[in-house]
Amino acid sequence: MRAFPEVFDYYQAPLYNRDALAASVASLIRDVAAGTVLDCACGTGLPAIDLRALGIAVECSDSDPGMLEQFRVNAIARGVSDKAHQLAWSDLGTLGRQFGLVLCRGNSIAYADSWEHTTPAAPLAAIEFHVRAIAAAVAPGGYLLIDAPRERKEISAGYPVAVLRGERVRVSEGVRLAGGCRAWTHQVTIGKKERHEFTRYSADITGETLRGMLARAGLTGITEVTLEGERPSYQSLLARRAA
């Protein structure tokens, strides 16, 4: 039986144009002249591993040991550094420096305190606490790229078949609003017979709510950016810390 982090790799395959996303983030890194980059929610490596493969030095961290174990497997398979730190956002200061660009994408902030499937979603006050911790890792004059769902609505969606590691992958999912949070139900079919179904819970946050949190964390010039290959249901925001 595959562990959840490996299943998560397969889940992501139909949802993203991985090459396009990495190229788009790499372009953003060049545009903002970020001398140092931190992906503080690196998960299993999308897009940090791809950025490393493009020759971009990216520091990586995540709080989940299972995701980091899969990250290292994926990095070694790709032929890039597998270095990554197991750190909560509140512990980013232990890295001893700030960064020209901090990445926190993939709806990661909405899953604060609730990555484990049985844990209730975090309230917005807790989300804001984590946003402040992430923002503190941004150097003066540097940027934070972070996202959240674009709209507050229930959805049901299927995605085109993708191929990962020689296996066909089919994904469908639904989102319902319940008890002040979002319940995400996912079905992942790998090959002909292997099927996984899981439910995760995230905070009921949108990009507009996130925008206010970023401003209160002392970031300015908050703008929406378009990333090729990213999920269109996510609103990606770029915010800057004053020099």
CA gap 208, 234 in Å, rounded: 11
Tell me, what DSSP letter sits at residue 35? S
C-alpha distances in angstroms, 61 versus 90, 102, 103, 117, 195? 12, 11, 10, 21, 29
Among residues 201, 209, 157, the alpha carbon closest in space to that of 177 is found at 201
Return the pLDDT at 116: 65
CA gap 156, 121 in Å, rounded: 20
In CATH, what class is 4-151+205-241?
A: alpha beta
pTM to 2 decimal places: 0.96
- CB neighbour burial string for 146-157, b if at least 16 within 10 angstroms, e if fewer: bbbbbeeeeeee
Q: Annotate 98-124 with DSSP letters as a single string.
A: -EEEEEE-SSTGGGTT--STTSPPPPH
Q: Does residue 6 register a pLDDT over 90?
A: yes
| Contact (CB, 8 A) for 227 and 165 | no
**Residue 121's pLDDT band (cuts 50, 70, 90):** confident
CA gap 100, 241 in Å, rounded: 10
Q: Does residue 144 register a pLDDT over 90?
A: yes
Rounded to a whole number of angstroms, the CA Rg of the chain reads: 17
Q: Does residue 73 register a pLDDT over 90?
A: yes
Domain boundaries, the chain: 4-151+205-241
